Structure formats: C-alpha cells, structure tokens
Structure 1
Amino acid sequence: MQTARWEEEFREYVRARGPALLRAARQLTGHPLDAEDLLQNALTKTYLAWDRIQDRAALDGYVRRAMVNINISQWRRRKLEEYPSDDLPDMATGAEAASGELHERLEQALQGLPDRMRAAIVLRYYEDMTEPEIANRLGISVGTVKSTVSRAMAKLRTELSPLRPPL
C-alpha cells in the first residue's frame, strides 16, 4: 500500500517538474537526446531513494545533484574526442533580430563548450553556486573552477560578439 502511494507521488512530481528538470539536463549535456538520457538516469536514482527522501521540497536539488554527478561520471569515462583550436570558423555578421535569436545563439555557444566548461558555467550562472561549491561538485580545485569559468566566459564573449575579427 505504501509503495503505491510513493509511486503516485513520484509520478506527480515527474509530471510537474519534468520539463524544468529536462531544461537543466539540456544545459548540462548540450544535446537533447543526451539530456533525456541523463534525466532518466537521475529520475531512476531518485525513484530508488524516494522512500528515504524526507524533505520533498528538496527534490529538485536531489535530482539536479544526481544529474551533475552522473554527467561528471560519464565525461570522466569518455576519452577526449574534441580538441581546442585557435582558429574560429567564419560566421556571418549582422544585427541580432530579437532576444530569441540571442538566446538561441547562447544555447549554441554553450553547446560548443567542452563538458567541464559547460558544467562550470551552468553551475555558476544557472544554478547560482559559489566557486567552492562548484569545486566540490566537480571534484576539482577552486583555482581550476576560477580559470575554467574565466576561459569559458571568454569563449562565450568571443562567440557572441556581434562583430568578430576576421580570420
């Protein structure tokens, strides 16, 4: 009887919070299908721990923490397949049509960042975490967080600048 109640509570939680959690997963992974997989894995972990989670108000934090941990584990296992380059690809210049276009460019720029940089930016500016919290979450030093965020912001500024220098 207790299990049926937990299952219904879990279903309601996923229905209510699923879209917001999927957006967070997409920010972490940079790819819609990877985000779905990441969220599914995090929700599985949450379901298995459902009866032990006393504070239902902290569920979003629990799921997000699971997503970050799973994502970190995945990119630690993955070998480096992308290599940074000093050369930037050609890009048409012009005025931004609307904030929607700017938002889309920001999404694309975030997806272009390496995994660790994207995770640091998402945790810092989307999740509003402090540098020590990010360092603890990612398993790196505070100095590495600072330099990673700094380099990521420089890449984003370059990518999003309206007039990029000629190559």
Structure 2
Amino acid sequence: MTTVSLALDAPFTWGERTVSRTQATSAEDTVREIYRAHYGMLAGWATKLVGDPDLAHDFATEAFVKLLRNLDSVNEPRPWLYTATANLVRDHWRKRGREAIAYEKLQGGADPEPTDHATVMTVRDAVQALPDRLRMAVMLHYFADLPVATVADQLGKSQGAVKRDLYDARARLASMLEGTR
C-alpha cells in the first residue's frame, strides 16, 4: 500500500469531517473515505443526467479511479469528482450523437418528421442541447449544487464568465422549454 503525504497544508472537507493535508495517509484510504461520503450522491446525480443507473454508476466509479490517480493534485474532492463525472457524461452524449448520425446515414439519410419539442422536450433534453460551455456550467452549478466560485475554478474561468454562461443558459433553456408547460 502506497503512503502519500499530500502536498498542500490547506484542509479540505468531505462529509462532516475536515482533514488536514499534512496527515500522512494512504491514497487508497483517503479515496475510500471520500467514496463513502460522496459516491451515492454522485451516482444519483449522474443517473439523472444519463437516465441509466448502470451507466451512471460506471461514470461515478471511473471518476473515483481518476481521483485515486490524481489525488495529490486535487484540492477539493467533491467539485473535482463532479467535474470529472460531468466530463464523462459529456463524452457519452457526444459519442451517442455521433452514433445517431452514423445510424441515420446507414439507414439512407431520410430525415424523420420534425419533433415537436414543445410537447416532448424534458429539462434533461434541453440541457443536453446546450453548447458545452453552457452545459458544463449548468451541470456543475444547478445539478451538482456547486457555488459559482467553485464552478469557475473547476472550469478555469472567471466568476463573471461563469455567471454570464449561467445567464445565457437560463435564457436558452427558457426559450427551449417555453411551450412545454
């Protein structure tokens, strides 16, 4: 078992506990405790995004594997896990979109009847339809319940840029969902 001494002195929290980074602990034990505190919420959040509990659990598990590999560079495990999972979900949505396009081409490229989104669009569909820069901010702020400052840090943007992205996303979502009430 590898023992690591986390480089930063700043404490971080998970669950009800605050842990000092200067405590020498094994990476596996640290991730195990973070896992106990956050796995259920992370998997549930991913399930709401992808609509498939098995796939969501795979994404949450993969995020924890990545956390184990990158633990020494992670300051705040919770937002890092949600960002990693959001990236996995985004990649899944992209792949699914490419597969749908390829399948349409294989079927002869016939355009189906246009869908009346006013009667069938869900919030999840609308969020999926947002551009990546807006979708990530929405997923992390509204669905993962991370503060704007944390979202900005995770996305490498200023707080003002994240606020603008959220404003733009709300406007687009309102427009898409306007007739679905």
The two structures have a TM-score, normalised by structure 2, of 0.54
For residues 137 and 170 of structure 2, the distance between their equivalents in structure 1, rounded to whole angstroms, comes to: 6
Equivalent residue number for residue 2 of structure 1: 2
Give the RMSD, CA atoms, in angstroms.
Answer: 3.9
Match of 2:61 among 37, 40, 43: 40
CA deviations 1:78-137 (Å, max 9, x no partner) are 3353986226558xxxxxxxxxxxxxxxxx93344362436554334334548x95xx58
Q: What is the 5 A alignment of 1:123-138?
A: 123-126=140-143, 127-129=146-148, 133=152
3-state SS of 1:11 partner: helix
The answer to whether structure 1 residue 86 and structure 2 residue 103 are counterparts is no
Amino acid in structure 1 at the alignment position of 2:123: L
Q: Is contact 1:120–1:149 with CA below 8 Å preserved after alignment?
A: no
Q: Is contact 2:63–2:84 with CA below 8 Å preserved after alignment?
A: yes
Equivalent residue number for residue 110 of structure 1: 123
Cα distance change, pair 48–33 in 1 and its aligned pair in 2 (3 A): same
Name the structure, 1 or 2, with higher relative contact order (CA <8 Å, separation 6+): 1
More strand by share: 2
- Unaligned 5+ residue runs, structure 1? 91-107, 162-167
Q: How many residue pairs are counted as aligned between the two chains?
A: 136
Q: What is the aligned-residue identity percentage?
A: 22
